[in-house]
Amino acid sequence: MTLTELHYVTVLAKTQHFGNAAEQCNVSQPTLSIAIKKLESDLGVDIFERSATRVFLTPMGKKIVVQCHKVLDEVAVIKDIAVNDEKKLSSPLHIGAIFTIGPYLFPNFVSPLKKSAPEMPLIIEEGYTNTLRNQLRKGKLDVAILCLPFEEPDVVVQPLFEEPCMAVMPPNHRLAKQCSVNAKDLEKEHILLLGEGHCFRDQVIEAIPNINQYHYAEMPADVDSQANSLETLCTMVTTGLGITILPQTAVKGSSVCTACNSDLVAVPFDVDGPKRTLAIAWRAGFPRYKAIEAVRNAIYASYNLDFDHQKLPKLAYE
C-alpha cells in the first residue's frame, strides 16, 4: 500500500471515470488501473464496482475512501510541520466565508491581514455552510468564517463575537419611527427571507416563531418572494414587497442599505431580538498556527472590535 495508490483511489472516487482520473493524476490509464487493482488485491476487497461507462464505490470502498482522505490529510500536515515558522506566514492561505459574511468582511479584512502577514497570498471564496464544511474537511480550505452552530469532527471552532440583527423597512412603514422592534411587532409583517440553504434564513425563522403566518394566510407560501443575497433583499424592500432582517454589519456595509439611502430605514431589535455568533473554523491538524491567529486578529480589526489578546487554543500537534 502506497500513498500514490491512496491518492489514485480518492481521485477515481471523485471522477468515477478511469480516463478522467488518470488525466488528473498525470499518469496513463493502465498505470492508474493497475495500481488500484494492486491495492484491492493487497486489501482483499473490491473498492470499486466497474461498469461499461462508470465506476462506483462499493460499500467497503466508501469506508476506505474516507480513511484515504484522512491519511493524505495527515501527510499534508507532516509536510507543513516541516516548514519553518517564517514560511507559515508566506505560504498561500485558502479562506472561505458564508455568503452573508463574505461581502462585508473581505473588503475590510484584507488590509489589516496584509499588515500582519504581507507575504501571505490569499485565496478567498464564498459558499454555503455545507459547501465550506466539505471543502474544509477535504483540505481545499484552510480557514472558514461562518456562524454557529457548527460542528464537524476533527475541526476546531472558535466563536469570534455575537452580532445583533436589524429590521429594514421603507421610511413610511408603521415601525420606522420606533427606537426598537421585537418579534411580536413583526408577526403581521411580510418578512422577506433568503432562500433555502442559507443559515441566516434559519436563524431568522428560529428567532421569530410566527414569521409570515399572517402573510401566508392571505398569500400561499409557494408564491412567496425569496432572494439569494442580502443586497437583493434590500432592493426588494425598496420596491414595496415587504420588510427584511439583516445582520448589523450588512446594514452598515450594504451598498443599498446605508444611512444616506432615504429609501430604507434600519431599526434595531430589543435585547431579545435575533442575533448570530460568528466563528472561525480550521482543521484540528492544520499546523499554521500563526496564520490562524493573524486571520482572527484581522477579523477583529476589520469589525473595529476589541479583543482580549488571549492566545488561540493550542493545535493538536503542539
What's the half-sphere exposure (Cβ side, CA atoms, 13 Å) at 72? 21
Sorting pLDDT into bands at 50, 70 and 90, what band is 87? Answer: low
Cα 107 to Cα 275: distance, rounded to the nearest angstrom: 23
Q: What is the pLDDT of residue 84?
A: 52
- pTM, entire model: 0.64
Long-range CB pairs of 83-88, under 8 A, 24+ apart, other chains included: 85/290, 88/287, 88/288, 88/289, 88/290, 88/291
- Which pLDDT does position 35 carry in this prediction? 93
Q: Which of 16, 8, 1 is nearest to 58 (CA)?
A: 16
Rg of the chain taking only CA atoms, in angstroms: 24
Model pLDDT, residue 203: 81
Q: Residue 148 corresponds to which cell in the numbers above?
A: 454557529
The tens digit of pLDDT for each residue in 193-214 reads: 888 778 888 888 887 776 766 5
Residue 149 DSSP class: S
pLDDT tier for residue 254 given thresholds of 50, 70 and 90: low
Q: Give the confidence band of 8 by pLDDT, cuts at 50, 70, 90.
A: very high
**pLDDT score, position 222:** 46
CATH of 88-318, one of 3.30.70.80, 3.60.10.10, 3.40.190.290, 2.30.38.10: 3.40.190.290
What Cα–Cα distance (Å) separates residue 198 from each residue in 106, 254, 257, 313?
19, 18, 20, 29
Q: Which residue has the higher pLDDT, 46 or 225?
A: 46
CB atoms within 10 A of CB 209: 9
Render 32-49 in DSSP notation, one character per residue: HHHHHHHHHHHHTS-SEE
Matching fold, domains 3-81 and 88-318:
no
Q: For residue 281, is pLDDT > 50?
A: yes
Q: What percent of the chain has pLDDT over 90?
A: 27
Give counts: helices (H), strands (E), the chain: 11, 11
Q: Which residues pair with 95 in a beta bridge?
A: 124, 143
Question: For residue 132, with 0-12 CB atoms within 10 Å meaning exposed, 13-18 middle and 19 or more buried, which class applies?
Answer: buried
Q: For 49-75, what is the mean pLDDT?
A: 88
Pairing of strands 226-227, 55-57: unpaired
- CA dist 244 and 114 (Å) reads 35
Q: Which residue has the cell 452573508?
A: 100
Between 112-121, 132-141, 242-251, 252-261, the lowest mean confidence (pLDDT) is in 252-261
C-alpha span between 54 and 280 (Å, rounded): 39
Lowest-pLDDT choice from 88-102, 120-134, 171-185, 194-208: 194-208
Distance CA 257, CA 154 (A): 39
Report the CATH architecture of 3-81.
Answer: Orthogonal Bundle (1.10)
- Ordered by start, the domain boundaries in the chain are 3-81, 88-318
Query: What local confidence, expressed as pLDDT, does residue 221 receive?
Result: 47
